[in-house]
Every structure is written in C-alpha cells, then in structure tokens.
C-alpha cells in the first residue's frame, strides 16, 4: 500500500475500493470474535472458504470474518447480505448447505434460523429478532461491516472520514466544543464528561502530551471493550486521532490486557496498517499533525484499569494508583498532560465529529447522552452484548432484550457495574440506564456489566463473591482498601457460616462508608458498593442468615442440609451412583437417605434426580 499524502488521496482510495467491490454480489459474514471462536467458528470460516473456492465463487462472494455481533449465546453466527439473513449455531457441516442454498440460490435454510425460545417462532433477518429489535446499535452494528484485520474494509465502510474534518476544518477548540456539546461521558465507569477532560488537557501546557485508550477491562462478566477493540480497532484508533488532535498529543497508547490475545493481535495489525497508509506517523495526510500509537500490554491486574495505576504500568513501574489530587490531564503519563478514555468512549468520537453533536445527543437522557453497550449475563434467556440508548429501563433490557428468566425461576435482582456497582431489586427495574439515576440508587453503570439473578441466588453470597474478588485484586497500598475489605469479607463469611451477629450489620455499613470515603483510588472507594447495596435492598435476607441461621436461596453451604423427600423418591438409585462422597444409602426401589455427616453439599444428587426428590432445607 502506498502512503496517503492528502485528503484527496484518501478519498481516491475509498472510491477505488468501492469500485473494486462492485463485482461482489453476496457477502458472507462469519463472526470471528472470541465468543464465537470458542464455539468453533474458525472451523466454520475454513469450511465456508473451502466451499466458496470449490464452487468458484471467489470473485463474486466475499467472505468477511468480522468481530463480535453481540449475540454470543447463539454463536457461531453467520449473516448473509443481501437479505440480512441471520444463521445461528452454525457448524462446519452446514457450510455446504449455506453456500449451495443461500448464497447460490438465495433460499433460506429454515433450521439454522434463530428460534424464539418463548413463542417458537423463527426469524429470518437480524432486524426481526427481539434481541436486536429493541437495541440502538450505533457502535456494535459497525462490527459486522468490517474485517478487523483489514483497513480497506474500514475505509470502504466510510472509516477515517472524521480525520480529514478535524485536520482540515476544525481547530482543537472546535473539536472540544463539539464533544462538550454532545454530552459524551466516560464509558469506563466514572462517567466524567469527556469534553471537560479534553478541554483541561488542551489548556495545560506540556512538552509532549499523551492520549491513552484504556482497554484493561477486568470486571467479572463484562467484555464490551474487548469486542469493540477486537472487532473494530480502526474505529478506536480514529477516535484517538481525533482526541490527539484536540488536546495536542503526539503519542498514544492502547493499554490492553494480555488476556485478550485477539484484541492485542487485531489492534497491533490495525496500528501497522494505519502506519503503512500514513494515517499514523509524521505529517498525517500531508498536514503538520503527527501522531503515533503504541500497544501496551497489561499483566492482568484489575487495579491497572485505574487511570494512575495504568500509567504507572505503562511507565514500567508497579501498577499501583497514586493520589489524584492533581488530575492526570495535568500530571499524567511521564508527568505530562494525558487524556485517558475507555475504548467505548473513543469509539463514540468519530461519529460525533461526522454527524454532529446534536445527532449524538438525540438519544439519551438529560444527563447521559448517546448509547451504552451493556454485557447482559446471568439467568436470562439471551445473553450477550446489548447496546441501548441511555434512558432505557432495566426492565426493557432484562425482559425485552434478555427474554426474561432462563429457567422459569423468578428474576429478583440485577447486578450492574461489576465489582464497583451494586445490586438492584426487581422493584427498581423501572430505573433507567443513566449515570446519575443508577448512582442515586446505590449502584452504577460502571463499565456496563449487567448480571441478572433469580431466586436461587443468595444476595449475601453475591456480596461475598465480589468481596473475595476485590480482596484478591486490591493492590494493598492503602489501609482502608487492604484491611477494610478483608474485614468486611471476614464479617460476611461469619454471616454465611452462621456465626453472624446483628450488630455486625451496622458495623458493615459503617465500615463500608469509611472505605468509600477514605480509600486512595476509585476502585477502593467503590469497593463496598456490592455490600452496601445488598444491605440496603436485601436486609431481610441478611437477617434470615443471622437470626434464623437460614439461607433463603439455599446457597450458603453451612446453613443448608440436603434431604430426600420420601414421598417423591422412587429408589431409582441415580443419586446413590452420582454421590462421590458416598453419603447416600438405600436399597433399590426403596427410599434413599442422605447421611448429613458425610454430605459435602455439592448438589450433584439434586441436579441428577429426575423426580425433584432431593430438597434443600
């Protein structure tokens, strides 16, 4: 590829690419995201490619290995354009049929279509599926258009159009004003107004300024940053270029955790391709603007997602936060002004420049504009990545998009925002996905994790899980986080094991409040949220653990016993054979009995019993 020296050359390249693609009649898009790869999409890709070659369709049919489509539960996903035909759970054996029937004859293969688990109805196109219907996919919908490893795809799809605009027509002040007017807020969790951050960084004098893309996503159950970065790395790069132009930065870093090998690989390829085309490097598109990006890999510490710890890690120091009384926009990486934004924030930027701030602000609420990608997991039918307009209620996300409970149990709570967020009960489901609304309710959007819980989830156990995670991931620098979380975990463990006392609940609240006010960094300050929010909304459950020594959800092992209901037991012996501890005795066709002394409460017998005879009391 030749270096582009002006805007015109970029436009010419785009025209040339579009002309080349006019001969293509059909596009087969196979998801190559991490989620689908684990469902063996690589074999599907190979099979489809082989099939296309053997049918001699190389010239007219394009096979596009795309990033994540969001509906990871149904993977591997194949979409065929034109027609927007959506196939799910595709196996390599289906490749022949797809190519022969759908690509060549235009017929739809009924059995590969998505079947609605509620009504049993099959949907032909992506847009008809309820999961997609209720979404507003501004960022994620672009994933399906491009092969993440191909800059040509991105340019042909209209990419890098924002770059000429900011380099040619807009001053840095204009760009910052536009971002400010759009009302974009940081998508990484804090929700800090991006425009204000940029303005402060722009106004601070510095020898060299930096922009950083924070792709160190570590919340349990959240993976939207990974999907955007591995599915459309050029979008993030373009956003960073706009940001660099605005604040006057000449160097950028993408800090991506090494546990995301595909994101590391794709973003590396993207940076190399952009360099080759002269979109990164010195004198970009013939202007005086110079900017380069480097990929920094993180070692997988949760705390390195905190901005100052992340910068310390890039500098080669121990990834520990430092006090932020002086903001990083003034004193950041290598003590220079630094703008750090989340992957999703950067990905939102090019569209704001292209379509204007009023377009962006057309979706959303008063305080939160635009869309937010949520990662919907837990006990719902449809799990995956969901992009909704800010202001959509949690109920819509869980029941309309998520399809409601996965196994018929009653849904009772949703945990938003990962370890920094909180649990909201069913009667708060009308709250909107909005930075301020959720913060007021004691939770937060955070990075966008949304874990749905049903009545078989013990809220005390959930709090314990998150505390264990936070205790493992605390850097240990400051006292309230290191010791405070440890003490909270000690108390919660006491409660789940039946040693709890009522006055410990007040102590938990007071300790949580102390940690949230005094900890050094944002992670410590939000760490008590899971406990505080469950205490606020599910206090009776804590009290049941303490007063009655009973776990209502039947989860906390120390407080439950397994027994076999003699009326239901048929003496089939399945439980007896499944018990690895030898705790079940009984003769064939007679009622079996569990020896509570030997029982380890693993629950295998309960899941094996076909007659629901094993009960938790």
Partner 1 sequence: MLQYVNLNIDGANVRAPRGTNVLDAAIEYGICIPHLCHVPNLSDIGACRLCIVEHVVNGRSEVTASCTLNVEEGMVIRTNTENIRRLRRNLAELLVAQAPNSRAIQDIALRCGVKEVRYPFRNEDCVLCGRCVRVCTEIWQARAIGFVGRGKDRHVDFPFGIRPDFCKQCGNCIQVCPMTIPPCDGPMKPGEEYLCLKCESQLMDETPGSCAWCKLGEGFGCGRYVGV
Residues that bind partner 1 (CB under 8 A): 301, 303, 318, 322-323, 325-326, 471-480, 482-484, 486-487, 490, 507, 510-511, 514, 517-520
User: What's the min distance (Å) between Cβ of 470 and partner 1?
Assistant: 9
Cβ neighbourhood burial of 84 (10 Å; 0-12, 13-18, 19+):
middle
User: What's the min distance (Å) between Cβ of 517 and partner 1?
Assistant: 5
Using the minimum distance from each CB to partner 1, give the nearer residue, 159 or 480: 480
User: What's the min distance (Å) between Cβ of 487 and partner 1?
Assistant: 5
Alpha helix (H) residue ranges in 548-612: 574-578, 604-608
Cβ neighbourhood burial of 193 (10 Å; 0-12, 13-18, 19+):
middle
Using the minimum distance from each CB to partner 1, give the nearer residue, 455 or 486: 486
Using the minimum distance from each CB to partner 1, give the nearer residue, 510 or 595: 510
Using the minimum distance from each CB to partner 1, give the nearer residue, 62 or 322: 322
Residues contacting residue 6 through CB under 8 Å, at least 6 positions apart? 285, 286
User: What's the min distance (Å) between Cβ of 90 and partner 1?
Assistant: 42
Using the minimum distance from each CB to partner 1, give the nearer residue, 106 or 476: 476
Using the minimum distance from each CB to partner 1, give the nearer residue, 191 or 233: 191
Using the minimum distance from each CB to partner 1, give the nearer residue, 427 or 472: 472
User: What's the min distance (Å) between Cβ of 468 and partner 1?
Assistant: 11
Q: Is 221 left (phi over 0), alpha (psi -120 to 50) or beta?
A: left
User: What's the min distance (Å) between Cβ of 46 and partner 1?
Assistant: 41
Using the minimum distance from each CB to partner 1, give the nearer residue, 159 or 528: 528
User: What's the min distance (Å) between Cβ of 193 and partner 1?
Assistant: 16
CB atoms closer than 10 angstroms to residue 19: 9
What does each C-alpha distance from 492 to 412, 447, 451 come to in angstroms? 21, 26, 21
What does each C-alpha distance from 9 to 103, 350, 452 come to in angstroms? 35, 20, 50
Q: Is 484 left (phi over 0), alpha (psi -120 to 50) or beta?
A: alpha
Q: Which residue has the tokens 């270029």?
A: 241
3-state DSSP call for residue 315? coil
Using the minimum distance from each CB to partner 1, give the nearer residue, 308 or 368: 308
Whole-angstrom distance, CA of residue 365 vs CA of residue 335 = 36
User: What's the min distance (Å) between Cβ of 302 and partner 1?
Assistant: 10
CB atoms closer than 10 angstroms to residue 607: 10
User: Do the bridges between strand 384-389 and strand 371-378 make them parallel or antiparallel, or are there none, so unpaired?
Assistant: antiparallel
DSSP-assigned letters across all residues of 32-92: -SHHHHHTTHHHHHHHHHHHHHHTT-TTTEEEEEE---S-GGGPSPEEEETTTEEE-S--G
3-state DSSP call for residue 126? helix
User: What's the min distance (Å) between Cβ of 483 and partner 1?
Assistant: 5
């Amino acid at each position: 590829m030749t270096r582009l020296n002006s805007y015109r050359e970029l436009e010419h390249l785009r025209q040339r690419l579009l002309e080349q693609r006019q001969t293509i009649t059909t596009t087969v898009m196979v998801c190559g995201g991490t989620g689908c790869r684990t469902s063996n999409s690589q074999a599907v890709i190979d099979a489809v490619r082989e099939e296309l070659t053997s049918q001699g369709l190389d010239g007219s049919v394009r096979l596009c290995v795309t990033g994540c489509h969001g509906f990871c539960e149904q993977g591997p996903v194949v979409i065929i354009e034109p027609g927007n035909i959506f196939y799910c759970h595709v196996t390599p054996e289906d490749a022949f049929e797809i190519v022969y029937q759908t690509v060549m004859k235009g017929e739809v293969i009924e059995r590969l279509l998505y079947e609605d688990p509620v009504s049993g109805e099959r949907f032909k196109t992506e847009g008809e599926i309820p999961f997609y219907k209720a979404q507003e996919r501004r960022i994620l919908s672009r994933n399906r258009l491009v092969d993440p490893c191909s800059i040509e795809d991105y340019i042909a799809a209209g990419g890098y159009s924002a770059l000429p605009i900011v380099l040619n027509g807009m001053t840095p002040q204009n760009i910052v004003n536009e971002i400010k007017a759009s009302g974009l807020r940081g998508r990484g969790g804090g929700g800090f107004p991006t425009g204000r951050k940029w303005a402060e960084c722009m106004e601070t004098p510095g020898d060299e300024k930096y922009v950083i893309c924070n792709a160190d996503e570590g919340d349990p159950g959240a993976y939207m940053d990974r999907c955007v970065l591995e599915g459309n790395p050029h979008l993030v790069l373009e956003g960073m270029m706009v940001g660099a132009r605005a604040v006057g930065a000449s160097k950028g870093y993408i800090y991506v955790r090494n546990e995301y090998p595909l994101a590391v690989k794709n973003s590396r390829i993207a940076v190399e391709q952009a360099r080759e085309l002269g979109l990164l490097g010195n004198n970009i598109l013939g202007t005086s603007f110079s900017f380069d990006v480097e990929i920094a890999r993180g070692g997988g510490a949760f705390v390195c997602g905190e901005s100052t710890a992340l910068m310390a890690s890039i500098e080669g120091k121990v990834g520990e936060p430092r006090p932020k009384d002086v903001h990083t926009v003034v004193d950041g990486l290598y003590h220079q002004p630094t703008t750090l934004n989340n992957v999703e924030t950067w990905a939102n930027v090019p569209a704001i420049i292209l379509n204007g701030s009023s377009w962006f602000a057309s979706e959303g609420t008063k305080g939160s504009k635009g869309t937010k990608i949520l990662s919907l997991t837990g006990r719902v039918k449809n799990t995956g990545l969901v992009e909704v307009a800010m202001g959509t209620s949690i109920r819509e996300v869980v029941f309309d998009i998520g399809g409601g409970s996965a196994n018929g149990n009653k849904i009772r709570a949703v945990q938003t925002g990962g370890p920094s967020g909180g649990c909201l009960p069913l009667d708060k489901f009308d709250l909107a996905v909005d930075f301020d609304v959720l913060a007021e309710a004691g939770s937060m959007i955070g990075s966008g994790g949304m874990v749905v819980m049903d009545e078989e989830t013990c809220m005390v156990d959930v709090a314990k899980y998150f505390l264990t995670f936070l205790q493992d991931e605390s850097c240990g620098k400051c006292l309230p986080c290191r010791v405070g979380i440890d003490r909270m975990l000690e108390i919660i463990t006491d409660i789940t094991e039946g040693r709890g006392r009522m006055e410990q609940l007040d102590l938990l609240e007071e300790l949580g409040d102390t940690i949230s006010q005094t900890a050094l960094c944002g992670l410590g300050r939000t760490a008590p949220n899971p406990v505080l929010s469950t205490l606020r909304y599910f206090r009776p459950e804590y009290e049941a653990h303490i007063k009655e020594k009973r776990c209502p959800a039947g989860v906390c092992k120390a407080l439950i016993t397994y027994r076999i209901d003699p009326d239901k037991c048929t003496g089939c012996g399945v439980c007896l054979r499944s018990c690895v501890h030898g705790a079940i005795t009984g003769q064939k066709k007679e009622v079996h009995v569990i020896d509570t002394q030997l029982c380890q409460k693993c629950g295998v017998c309960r899941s094996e019993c076909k007659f629901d005879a094993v009960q938790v009391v």
